[in-house]
Amino acid sequence: MNELAIELPEDVVKSLEITGIYGEKLKEEAKRALAVELFEEGRLSLESSAKLAGMHLSDFMTLLAKKKIPIVDYTNKELEELKMDVESIKTL
């Protein structure tokens, strides 16, 4: 596993410590934030993002839902096709 080190300004570290985020918790929060951002930008898949966040897929999906980030991003054309499929199924 690769490791990434980042430097944080001392005042940022102190601000985070006041809110209870330091040590391992800070690492976890940073990984989750990065995973969410990369997923939202379409740079990582859902599964890869969950792995980066160190979470089970279902837990990561719940995190995305809490942040109101859609898991799928259909185009208008795809949504229209899905709507037509649903209508076709209803008539059967």
User: What is the three-state SS of 33-66?
Assistant: HHHHHHHHCCCCCHHHHHHHHCCCHHHHHHHHHH
* Tens digit of each residue's pLDDT (9 = 90 or more) over 26-39: 999 999 999 999 99
d(CA 57, CA 49): 9
In terms of Cα–Cα distance, which of 60, 28, 59 is closest to 44? 60
pTM: 0.78
* Tens digit of each residue's pLDDT (9 = 90 or more) over 10-60: 999 999 999 999 999 999 999 999 999 999 999 999 999 999 999 999 999
Residue ranges per structural domain of the chain: 10-91
